[in-house]
Amino acid sequence: MLSIEFRKLLEALCKGGTEFIVVGGCAAVLQEVPIATFDVDIVHLRTPENIERLMTVLGELDAYFWPDLARRKLPPRASDLAGRGHVLLTTRLGRLDVLCELTGERGYAELLPHTAELDADELHLRVLDLPMLARVKAEAGRPKDLLAVPMIIAAYEERKKRG
């Protein structure tokens, strides 16, 4: 179950017309994997039009880079969202990681065939499917990601059993 803030964050992205895929722990939670997550991770379509829509939403959410020990609250630029890296942000609704690509240089177009559409709390979302989610978490190799992989696989296997 998503927190109210994360739901509102996803709602703002949807209402803003942003094309994105929910990835990471939030994608797992949306697909009933019993893990905790502390941010919303998305991979967005990196066209100028979509980046402009995303920038508008980020402005409305008062988004700024984190961590920033100097506490400058620097907002992201369109050029940050057009690149290949990860744009780690704080918003008034919580943390949002805007990932231009996942491991293996997988951007929006490469991930799109590995997504599922789902309706959650009246939101229509595109989320990374569980097999690809397990794969990218395993490839990332961070301890927190490796701990999530067996849970994701178990949830996927259970879902297959249920049909």
- pLDDT category at 1 given cuts 50, 70, 90 is confident
Section 125-154 average pLDDT: 97
Peptide bond into 48 cis (omega under 30): no
In this predicted model, what pLDDT tens digit does every residue of 17-75 receive, in sequence order? 999 999 999 999 999 999 999 999 999 999 999 999 999 999 999 999 999 989 999 99
Task: Give the pLDDT score at 49.
Answer: 98
Indicate whether 2 pLDDT > 90: no
* Exposure class string for 48-67: b at 16+ Cβ within 10 A, else e: eebbebbbebbeebebbebe
Mind listing the pLDDT tens digit for each residue in 108-135? 999 999 999 999 878 999 999 999 999 9
Residue 60, pLDDT score:
98
Q: What is the pLDDT of residue 52?
A: 98
Q: Using one digit for the tens of pLDDT, what is the confidence trace for 80-109?
A: 999 999 999 999 999 999 999 999 899 999
Interatomic CA distance for residues 94 and 140, integer angstroms:
23
User: pLDDT value at position 141?
Assistant: 95
CA distance 78 to 133: 27
- Mean pLDDT over 132-159 rounds to 97
| Band (79; pLDDT cuts 50, 70, 90) | very high
